[in-house]
Amino acid sequence: MKIEKICCIGAGYVGGPTMAVIAQKNPKIKVTIVDINSDRIAAWNSPDLSKLPIYEPGLAEIISETRDKNLFFSTDVDTAIDEAEMIFISVNTPTKTYGKGKGQAADLKYIELCARNIAKVATTDKIVVEKSTLPVRTAETIKSILQNSGNGINFHILSNPEFLAEGTAIEDLLSPDRVLIGGESEEAIESLANVYASWVSQNQILRTNLWSSELSKLTANAFLAQRVSSINAISELCEHTEANVDEVAKAIGMDSRIGSKFLKASVGFGGSCFQKDILNLVYISRSYGLNEVADYWEQVIIMNDHQKRRFSDKLIKTLYNTVSGKKISILGWAFKKDTNDTRESAAIYVTDHLLNEQALVSVYDPKVPEQKVYSDLNYLNSRTEQENEDFVTVDKSPYSALKGSHAVAIMTEWDEFKEYDWEKIYSEMKKPAFIFDGRNILNKGKMQDIGFEYYSIGQ
C-alpha cells in the first residue's frame, strides 16, 4: 500500500516527537497528529516554540521545519482517521487504578476507544499500527474490534513499539538501534518499513511476528530497569563495605558481556514506563500461572521502592532523626534530565516522605512548572491540597530555593546543578549544611572542602 497520509492518535511524549521525525524524513507524506486534549493540541500549534507541551532537545527545530507543511496537529480525530492509509495508536496505557488487575495490569480503555473509533469512521482499508506499549496479545483484541464493528473494509494490524528515551528522544529517533515491526501481512509490514527506510538502514528494521514484537517491548524495559535495580542493590552494599559503586560500575561495565550503559546508581528510576511495564509483565506472568517468573520481575520494583525510601530515611536519620520544621531543598523534579516529564519521579516520593515528617520543602527544577509539582503531590492524596501548599514552595531560582535550608537533596541529574556557585550556597545554608546527592553528580572532595556534609549513593 502506498502511504500518502498518516494519522497518529495521541499527541504525547511518543506521538509528538515520533511523528515529527517521520514527517521531517518523509516530506511527501502528510502526517496529522490528533488528540482529544484540545489544550495539548493548542500548545503543539503555538507560534511560540517555547510553549510546546513537551520539552525535548532538538524537537522545537523539527517542529518549526515541518509544522503546517506536512505535519499537522488537530482535534478532528475522525477526519484524520478516515483520510489516512496508516493510523498509529500512540495513546497512554497506564496501570489500572480500578477493578481486576488494579495496580498491575495495563488499562487498555484508551486503546479500545481508539479501535472502536477507527472501526466507526474508516471507509477505506487501513494499516493500524500499535505504537503504544501493550500487553502481549493485545493485537488480537484490536483485530477483533476492528473486524466485528468495522464497515466491512480490511484492517492490517502491526506492532511497532517505540524505544526512545525521554531527554534523548530526537537523537534516539534519528539513529535508532533498531526499528521493530511485528505483523502478519508482509505487505503491511513493508509499507511501514518503507516509511522508516527514508532514514533507517534496512538491516536495522527488524521484522517479527506480532507477539514477539509486543513482548519485546515489555522485555526491553524490564531488562533496562533491572540493570538500574541491580546496581542500586549493590550501592547499598557499597555503603556498608567502603566499596564505591561508581568504581564497581566502571569495573564491571568494561566487561564487554556486561557493557557500560545503564549502570548509574541513583535514588531510583522513575518515568512513566519502567514501573508500569514491569507491573504489567508481572500481571501477565501471573495470569498464566507463572508465579516464579512474576516474582522474579516484581523484585525489580521492590528494589526500586526500597531505594527511594532508604534515601529519604537516610536524610532524616542524618538530620538528627527529625526534619520537622526544617527547610529541605529539592533540586530537580523531573524523572531525569532534559525532560519536563515528572511521571513517577523519585522526587515526588522522597518529598512525600519528608512532608510526612513535617519538613518544609522548597523545590527547584529548570523545566517543571510550579503547578505540576503541586498536582504530582496532590495526586498521592497523602494530605490536603492546602497542606501541600502550606509546606511546599516552588522557587524560580535555585539560590532562593537553597537559602536558609538545612539540607539539599539532588533528585535529577540536570547539568546546571554542577555549575552552581556552591560556596555561595554553603554560606547561605544552615550549618551543618548537608548535601544528599541522589545522582552522584557533584564532586565529593570539593563539596567537603567547602564545608558541606556530603552524602551520595553507594559511596
**Residues designated catalytic:** 162, 217, 273
401 closest CA partner among 354, 324, 333: 333
Q: How far is the CB of 412 from ligand NAD (least distance, A)?
A: 16
Q: How far is the CB of 162 from ligand UGA (least distance, A)?
A: 6
Side-chain-facing half-sphere of 448: CA atoms under 13 Å: 6
Helix residue spans in 123-185 (DSSP H): 138-149, 169-174
**Interface with ligand UGA includes 437 (CB under 6 A)?**
no
Report the b/e string of 407-441 with b at 16+ CB within 10 A.
bbbbbbbbeebeeeebeebbeebeeebbbbbbbbb
Report the b/e string of 40-66 with b at 16+ CB within 10 A.
bbebbeeeeeeebbbbbebbbebbeeb
Which does residue 269 touch among ligand UGA, ligand NAD, none (CB within 5 to 8 A, set by kind)?
ligand UGA
Determine which residue in the list 89, 158, 205, 273 makes contact with ligand UGA, applying CB under 6 A. Answer: 273
Side-chain-facing half-sphere of 16: CA atoms under 13 Å: 25
| Closer residue to ligand NAD (CB): 117 or 405 | 117
Which does residue 264 touch among ligand UGA, ligand NAD, none (CB within 5 to 8 A, set by kind)?
ligand UGA
| Closer residue to ligand NAD (CB): 216 or 272 | 272
Q: How far is the CB of 215 from ligand UGA (least distance, A)?
A: 14
| Closer residue to ligand NAD (CB): 24 or 132 | 132
Determine which residue in the list 101, 176, 183, 271 makes contact with ligand UGA, applying CB under 6 A. Answer: 271
Q: How far is the CB of 381 from ligand UGA (least distance, A)?
A: 23
What is the C-alpha to C-alpha distance for residues 149 and 120, in angstroms, rounded to an integer?
7
**Interface with ligand UGA includes 73 (CB under 6 A)?**
no
What is the C-alpha to C-alpha distance for residues 395 and 410, in angstroms, rounded to an integer?
15
What is the C-alpha to C-alpha distance for residues 325 and 361, in angstroms, rounded to an integer?
9
Ramachandran bin of 259, using left for φ above 0, alpha for ψ from -120 to 50, beta for the remaining angles: left
Contact present, 212 and 203 (Cβ < 8 Å): no
Q: How far is the CB of 398 from ligand UGA (least distance, A)?
A: 19
Distance between terminal CA atoms of the chain? 57
Q: How far is the CB of 109 from ligand UGA (least distance, A)?
A: 19
Written as nine digits, the cell of 36 is: 482529544
Determine which residue in the list 65, 75, 82, 163 makes contact with ligand UGA, applying CB under 6 A. Answer: 163
Determine which residue in the list 130, 162, 338, 357 makes contact with ligand UGA, applying CB under 6 A. Answer: 162
Which does residue 262 touch among ligand NAD, ligand UGA, none (CB within 5 to 8 A, set by kind)?
ligand UGA
Q: How far is the CB of 333 from ligand UGA (least distance, A)?
A: 12
CA 160-192-5 angle, to 5 degrees, is: 110
Site string for ligand UGA, 318-357 (x = CB under 6 A): -----------------xx---------------------
Determine which residue in the list 92, 213, 221, 226 makes contact with ligand UGA, applying CB under 6 A. Answer: 221
Phi, psi of 55, deg, nearest 5:
-100, 120
Written as nine digits, the cell of 206 is: 527488524
**Interface with ligand UGA includes 420 (CB under 6 A)?**
no
Q: Which residue stretch of 120-128, 185-193, 266-274, 369-377 sits at the interface with ligand UGA (rule: CB under 6 A)? A: 266-274
Phi, psi of 290, deg, nearest 5:
-95, 75
> What residues make contact with ligand NAD under the rule CB under 6 A?
9-15, 34-37, 40, 77, 90-93, 110, 113-114, 132-133, 162, 164, 166, 272-273
**Interface with ligand UGA includes 106 (CB under 6 A)?**
no
Which does residue 420 touch among ligand UGA, ligand NAD, none (CB within 5 to 8 A, set by kind)?
none
Q: What is the dihedral of CA 425, 443, 227, 55, to 10 degrees?
A: 50
**Interface with ligand UGA includes 159 (CB under 6 A)?**
no
Q: By the criterion CB under 6 A, which residues form the site for ligand UGA?
A: 133, 162-166, 221, 224, 228, 262-264, 266, 269-274, 335-336
